[in-house]
Structure 1
């Protein structure tokens, strides 16, 4: 069969993709590779994509299907560059629906690119099999044709490039740092092996530690030569340290303790440490995404908690398969998930991935027996543009998540500085317009996050936690006092001045005026005037107008007092708000 002239010879990175179309041939769902190939995510008609000379054959193949049947055709399909690619397409009618519409499911292979990708994958597989056959110390890779020398370190789930340079640059840097003749002779022997060895080799080398260039170490090197499909040489090897003075422990994210016990995903602390390390390394851009399952409480209430657990597990699995080694996936508790990407360099790639993720989750549960609607809301920030630390990126991604919920859920919002600003005022307006259930879910997530942080880190992040509580509950001030001490243990907010609690704390006097064994609440401090004039005056002198105070003993049995306050306006929160604050207080008391 002669290849038609309209088949494009230009390169394409699409090897395989899939999509689902309705009976009008409109695409209702595609995977990430399909959207990237098409260059858009909405308004795609397969009749526009298939070459006009082959369009009738495609329609006939679709129309001939009975439920459970399939058809396979060779066709030509146009991508975003307007060029047609030779396609091996399988069309199936599995009886599935998307958004209630019956669909045909398409499996698409780009024939011309498969051979090239196969050879590339074969080279990669040979390289990594050789790596994994050695001890997991420092690994090196020298591509002779490209004159590219790199040192890697596998640390659990992550392969980190610690050094990358030409062979000449390697010689210059080591010689400048360590000019002794014996060191240079060892280095010359190593470089000769890299350039001329035909099989395996071994040698010793004194040089700087890859992660600590000012520290000298003695390495024993075992090298191995492999050949790419074009017979070009690549030298792989292991740098095994002969002294163990500075042996690195496995990072937390690579340990069992760093995993969520239910899903096996990373927990919050592990995600934070991974992100911090990736950002410190610099170089490539990264995206951070915060993800919530929409209306998850309703799913639990309607279908039961066992089904809710199935939803959590299935969403975790879909997230893992979607990221597919291009970053990490975490679960922060409940229905809150986390993504951090590597090797996704453009917003086009990101949008294709997130669109595919949302539609795959929705379709997975739509076609199940219970017909449960499961959708995702996603907020995204980008490094380094939106921040150079975990905290900066998290704050913006988290605010975008709640903006996505506010706009109707089942969508993603990517942070844009000129559009979203610092999002602080916007987040407050979002919370004011939330219905009670949405607000309760939001505050429950905040309290759950506090519990996780306290359990993992103890009292160390207490000041950050008080700031988080102040923002989430729209408070002006938060204080923690211990009975017998005049000064507060922790404080957050612009108190002018900080209230002098005097006998109320030093002499444990607060316990005597509690209107409940554990709390005292005043929507306006005038309510306290008849209860305790001295307390009323103390609070009024500090501009405090609304207050709730909780009392719980610390681990030694000494009373702790948690004050949550507003300045110059009444305390106007619901009973559920009070219960969330009470829970947060107990969590904090348990670790103080």
Structure 2
């Protein structure tokens, strides 16, 4: 038996396939991917390709599945040349009847091939974005499933869509603004090509290049159709300018002059004009305006030199672009100031994940080269249209939050909330005055005092607000609290899964790790494996990479606290650890 580990590039390695199977395991129909995989067309019994170790589980699932049910399992399948592939299999009984017999539908995802093709797709996306960014003409596509027609333009890996809407909306607008019968006839030809999903077509058409401007430009259209994964047609192509006047309406942010030469990001003017154009388009989406400052960048330049400082700026640009991944535009305003305006970040939860990932990725980007060195960012965020409906108002609120982040000790992001941060008009403090807190612990003692007062005055009702404040102020991703019966009584944070601590909290080997203050601090979870394998497995499976833990007893009950960090190691200073323990003790007293 050969169980291959690297299947990418092999001719008979497929990403997924669909199979229809009789109750006697005979394959009665499948897609071409499956036949390619098994290298047979007829006489296929599905049990013949299931690995012996998985036969029992597969047969039990297959034979007991009821109409309307489905199940999922990991299983090894053998291809036509005797190699076994790990497969994520979905078995479904959708009530399908053929020749009076109930048949079962099976979809197989070949894991290694899916991974390889996913990575290849990511590379291709970035490659094609770069190629499109060098293309000087406008592009278009029409998706018959969503009925959305879009004209768009790529420049500097950024995409702008001056025309976007349903095909019928676009047709109605065009019939209003076209000036002659010949222009309407040309448009009708183009419209029919789109509507019918035509192959390899070319025509002439007059089109506008703005939702709010009806000025027309003449284009030669070249297009073709393809079919998406759900079997619906997508027509795509490009609009080639017939006269030179259309070049005059290409926006500044779409030109080569708009790119900052040091980082490859857009410059300040380009960011401003792009943001204003999106706001003016009234696309009914939410957009986040995000402003960054590199903390203590002058000190980095003074200590390590300006060449290293330039390398830091370049690294920041790369991390921003890689994580934003086309979901908006990124720019450099000058010096150590950066900017993002998002297009496809759906909610605050997704935004927090993006910001946390970028900030922590950067913090450890130079870890292997310079001991105890990390680049941190202060970040301010405002939301369109909630926080403002024009560029200036959004900018002022994001800017305010940026400097609040600096005042609070840097290395954090603050999302504007008027109830917390006040309106701009009522804010008497000069928000551009940065409080340089040389003593971090002095600031944190004020934070802890406020938290304690809130717990004392509100009791249990304050725990949610306090927990969220702890996560933000102490750079912690999750909080878990257990009682002495190993029951999880409170959690906060976006956990991949919750660790099972049932046996661990009663285990002497684990409990012995608490020090005389009933606390422990683990900076990287890999160190746990040597002394507690079960705890290590639970934490690793939950993407917890570091934690602070403590226990306290009140009213004959013991409470265990775990402050977790996801996906990266962490370093806590002594004062922050002590502050967390003080807060934990107060929380335990109100539980």
Q: Indicate the structure whose relative CO is greater, using CA pairs within 8 Å and at least 6 residues apart.
A: 1
TM-score, structure 2 as length reference: 0.49
TM-score, structure 1 as length reference: 0.49
